[in-house]
Amino acid sequence: MGSQSNRLKELRQKQGVSLGKLSTELKENYQFSLSPSQLMYYENGKRQPRNSETWKILANYFGVSVGYLLGFTENPKQYDDEQINDQYANWGVILTSSKSRDKEDEEQLYFKRFVQYIKSNHMLLSDTEIKSIYKLLISMDLSNSNNLKGKLFKDALNKDFHQYEDDYIQNYSILLDDRYEKPENEMMLDVYLKELKIDIGIDGIISILKPFAEKNHESMGDNN
């Protein structure tokens, strides 16, 4: 039976909590019984809980999200909308998802790509300038319905696209130009990952890809 890695031991040692103390405090504070030996098996990946409740309680104890505890995300922040799927718990797999976390991670990724673009083109801009330019771009983005301009544009298109079609084609000709498109294989991959993300969440994608990444990392280590 396969199992997924987790941060239980890492978090426990970071807070200086022994297995015995953790077991005692879980019982006292959460009325939840887990023996030190059970906890040891969980953190070493030798056994997995049969439902998500155990991971929820452990995550709350350490003040992190279940996704972070299970190693799906680098973001330890807890989100109220985090969903946990323990449908495959008997196989040693529990999936988590959070739209709020996905949104924040996506925003951070966009900003990271923006900074990478600046660096790759050897532009020398201050932190204030970079943040100001990025904020301006976000506020002008018509595809972003969270800003007023994007909301008005979306409403207008929904009412009568043909009325604005000529202006749209004229004013956004660069983005509509095929010369600036990604290669077809990259676009197909983007679409596939986007659809997959909608179906199982970003944490689900990571859980699927992680074993392959670890295996590849191990093989690279062997070659070295």
SS3 84: strand
Q: Is 164 within the bounds of a domain?
A: no
Q: Is 156 within the bounds of a domain?
A: no
Q: Is 210 within the bounds of a domain?
A: no
Measure CA of the first residue to CA of the last residue in the chain; give whole Å.
30
Q: Which domain holds residue 86?
A: 8-96
Q: Is the pTM of this model over 0.75?
A: no
Q: Is 135 within the bounds of a domain?
A: no
Work out the burial of residue 147: count CB atoms within 10 Å of its CB; fewer than 13 is exposed, 13-18 middle, 19 or more buried.
middle
**Do 24 and 32 contact (CB within 8 A), yes or no?**
no
Is the Cα torsion angle 56, 62, 65, 70 positive or negative in sign? negative
pLDDT confidence of residue 19: 95
Q: Which two tokens stand for residue 145?
A: 């319905």
Distant-in-sequence, close-in-space partners of 27: CB < 8 Å, separation ≥ 6: 33, 34
pLDDT confidence of residue 188: 64
Q: Is 199 within the bounds of a domain?
A: no
Q: Is 133 within the bounds of a domain?
A: no
Q: Is 20 within the bounds of a domain?
A: yes
pLDDT confidence of residue 182: 66
Query: What does the alpha-carbon distance between residue 49 and residue 94 come to, in Å, rounded to a whole number?
Result: 9
Look up the CATH number of the domain holding residue 50. 1.10.260
When divided into structural domains, the chain yields a total of 1
Query: What does the alpha-carbon distance between residue 78 and residue 64 come to, in Å, rounded to a whole number?
Result: 6
Q: Is 179 within the bounds of a domain?
A: no
In order along its 224 residues, the chain shows pLDDT tens digits of 344 578 999 999 999 999 999 999 999 999 999 999 999 999 988 887 877 889 999 999 999 999 999 888 888 999 998 988 877 666 667 778 888 888 888 888 889 999 999 999 999 999 999 999 998 888 777 766 665 566 666 665 566 656 666 766 677 677 667 776 666 666 666 665 665 554 545 555 555 555 555 555 555 455 55
